[in-house]
Each structure stands twice: as structure tokens, then as C-alpha cells.
Homo-oligomer: A and B are copies of this chain.
Amino acid sequence: MDTPVGPREQSESTDSAAQDSYDVIVLGAGPVGQNVAARARAAGLTVAVIERELVGGECSYWGCIPSKSLLRPVIAVADARRVDGAREAVSSPVSVQGVFGRRDRYVTLWDDTGQANGIKEIGAELIRGHARLHGTRRVAVATSDDELVVLTARHAVAVCTGSTATLPDIPGVSQARPWTNRKATDSSEVPAGLAVVGAGGVGVEMATAWQGLGSRVTLLARGHGLLPRMEPFVGELVAQGLTDAGVDVRTGVSVTELRRPGGAGPVTVTLDNGTELHVDEVLFATGRTPNTADIGLETVDLTPGSWLDVDDSCRVTGTHNDWLYALGDVNHRALLTHQGKYQARIAGAAIAAAAAGRRLDRTPWSAHVATADSHAVPQVFFTDPEAAAVGLTAHEAERAGYRVRVVDVNIGESVPGANFYADGYTGRARIVVDLDGGYLVGAAFVGPGISELLHSATVAVAARVPVDRLWHAVPCFPTISEVWLRLMEANRDLQEERRP
């Protein structure tokens, strides 16, 4: 992008600190902050982006980017091993050094020069420092040069500060120095024994990666299944895959204490069932805390440390909804990079419209409303097998009052494309059909190679395509996508059964 830097105007001030005005001020230069900055710049607005750590954020350096660069080699080798004729070509496990080298390259060795230049290239100002709200439309920045700069936003301030791993409040936790997503993605040493606490996306993905890299992983899930936000069968097949890979999967257990005398060496993990584990590292993947404790929320009558409630244009609800936006993890709508970027596109369009004096279009699914956040959030976990879902689970749909038909199919013998992909394929799929609307409100898939298949369901759910029309969306033979044919046939058969 070669948009020139917009004009910077000085506004009057009584502060002694340096002061600048921008149309839009963005707190946090992760993918979400970058996207909202880009949209504002594209609308001709001046933009400052403030980042206290690395430009690119958690996702680029300790999230999806390193985790997926670690996972893919593990899956690629597993995929080849599942195919007769290819299996014989694989003689050894993944190269650990090769994998770490790959990860280091994708995180650019935790150097953010390239992404910082990206901010400048769109014509936004990048300010390095710690930003705090400083009353209405104002932001105080403690810069990395130890200066205090107070900035004024003419139109909007967007809080895109993300979240941090939550550590449980149990005895011994601080001395044990447990891993979080950060160490789990930037380590270049493979712990011989690794306990992974938490069976959500981070937990199962990191269990997959580190087991693949040679750790003996024990996965500890508090609930009775993995990936509790997806359909139960998804977690069941992922648990089976982890077990097959050698992971010790234990469900229904909680960690009550950690012991690591001296803060180094082996860790003893005490579980609530009275057993103990002896491992080399413990990873906690047990939730996220919003990065809102020290961003000056108190200066605008909001509660420090809280998630920020927003409307569907991502404006913070309450008294500040004409200028204060919260995007990405901090608004707690969907803690996913892609959904944060979506919010940034929507809010960016809304900010641009408001700045130009245009009325926001508040119709659902319009350009200024992040409607997908409540109806069509997709998610993929790059486990083995892969897990993917969009929209509501059957249980969620029923609880929300939908009258639904649940259609399940096994992805195996009946889908030739699946068997070509992997000999002896095991997988499963579900669609949840709203009987009154006649369209899908949710879909879930689990099996090798299904990650790219999810978007077909996302289009169907987000666009509310009638199932009668999906009948004409012919999946290619022989792709795994033919699971859609089996789903549509099973749906038709259930539909016909209901008729007299």
C-alpha cells in the first residue's frame, strides 16, 4: 500500500506533555489493530497506532502463527503415513530442528520490523509505548522513550489490546513457572514430559504439536470431553487421535497444586483425584484474561480488567458509544484472530461512515454490523484429526429455542474421497437444520484434511442458504466434500420420514 501519510494537525492543549490529534487512535498493533487502522486510512482518515510490545501481537509471535508452523510438519508426516505407497517413503519422525527453524522463520525471530513497516506503509503513525485512555477521546502514551504524550482522537479510539493467558490461583503456581501459550510456542527445547492443562483449542493443539515433537504429553481436561465448545463427537475423535499418537488423555481432573522446588527441574502436579504427575513442564491453557487492567478504563467510567461490552458495530456500550470501540479478544464476542479482523473491517467501515457524517446501516448483515459474530463464527483446530465447526451446536441451538433437525454422518466408507485422502479414514460430520427457517444454523466436521471444507459450511450458515438449494451445490467426486452429499441425503431421508 502506498497511501501517503495524512496531515497531522495540532490541536490546542493545556497539557504540558506533547500532544497530537488524529482522526482515529488504535490501542494495540496486532492483526485487529492493523486491520482497523488500514480501513480508517483507506477512508482517508489520519491514524495513530500504539503498541507496547511487538507489532503483530500475540497471534503473530505466540499464537496461531508459531503454533500452526509447529503443527503442520507433524500433520504432513502423519498424513503421508496414512497412505499406502506414501507411508513407505517416510522413514523417520519430523525433524525437530527443522520444525523449530520453520517456526523461527514464520515469527521472523520475534523481530517486528517488517510489520512495523507495514503500519507506516499504510500511512499510519506507529507509536511505541503503553497507551492509556485519558478521558473522552484522549489517550496518554508512556512512550518507549520515557516521554508522556497525550493524543486526541477526532473520531474514534479503538481498543484492540487483546488478551493474556489466565493462570489458576493454586498453590505453587508462581514458583512452578508454568508454560502458557507463549512458552508453548516459542520454546526451542522439547520437554521430555509435558502436562497440558486445558482441553480447549490451545490445549489440544499444543498437545498434538509437542507429542509430535517428541514430548510424552499428558492432557488434563477438567470436563468429561475435549473441545467442550464443539459437538461432543468432535472432542471424542480428537481424544482418540491424541491417544493413538501416544498422549495420555485424562478427563474429569483438575490440578490442585504444583511443586517445583527452587523453580527449576521437574514439576510435581497434584490432581484432585489424589494422583500426582511428574513432568518437566506444565502448560496452562485454561482461559484468557483481557488486557484491559491498565489502559485507563477508569478515566471513562469503565472497570479496569473487565471485558468490554460492545454493540454490533463494536462500539463500547454505555456513555461512550459515539467514539470508543473495542475490537478483538477484549470484547469477548469471539476470541479468534479471524473474527477480530472481521470486527475490524466492520468497525473500520462504521468509523469511516460516522467520520464522513453518514448514518450507520444498522441492518443485520450490513457493512456496519458484525452479525456473523452471533450466527456464523467458524473455528478450526489443527489437531490430528482436524476439528472444525461453525455456528451453533445442536445443544446450543435447542437451548436457543430453535426447532432443529440434527443430521449426522460418518466420514468413512461412504465418502470415497475421504478414503483416498487417508486409508481407513475415520471422521464424522453434523449439520443442524433450523426446521422453521429451512437453513443450517450450525455444522461440525472432524477428520483428517477437513480444515478447508469448513468454509463451505460457513458460507451456508452465514448466507442462510436453504437446504433445498444446497441440494444443488454438487460436491466434487472424489473429494472429502462429498460428505455434504451424504449429509443432504440423510437430511432428505429424515425429511421424508416425517411426511405421512
Contacts and interface: CB of A to CB of B under 8 A. Distances in A.
Contact of A80 (B69, B77, B341, B450): B77
B481 A455 contact: yes
Nearest to A453: B452
A76 B86 contact: yes
Interface string A21-33: 0000000000100
Nearest to A101: B84
A111 B290 CA distance: 62
B474 A378 contact: yes
Interface stretch (A122-130, A192-200, A235-243, A365-373): A365-373
Interface of A: 31, 59, 64-65, 68-69, 71-74, 76-77, 79-80, 82-102, 105-106, 336-339, 341-342, 345, 365, 367, 371-372, 376-380, 388, 416-417, 419-421, 423, 449-456, 458-460, 462-463, 465-466, 468-482, 484-485
A100 to B, nearest CB: 8
A86 B94 contact: yes
6 contacts: A73-B85, A338-B482, A379-B476, A454-B479, A455-B475, A459-B459
Contacts of A85: 73, 94-102
Contacts of A378: 474-476
Contacts of A371: 472
Contacts of A367: 468, 471
Contacts of A472: 342, 365, 371-372, 376, 462
A98 B87 contact: yes
A475 B338 contact: yes
Given A85-B94, A94-B89, A455-B456, A342 B474 contact: yes
Contact of A79 (B76, B338, B480, B482): B76
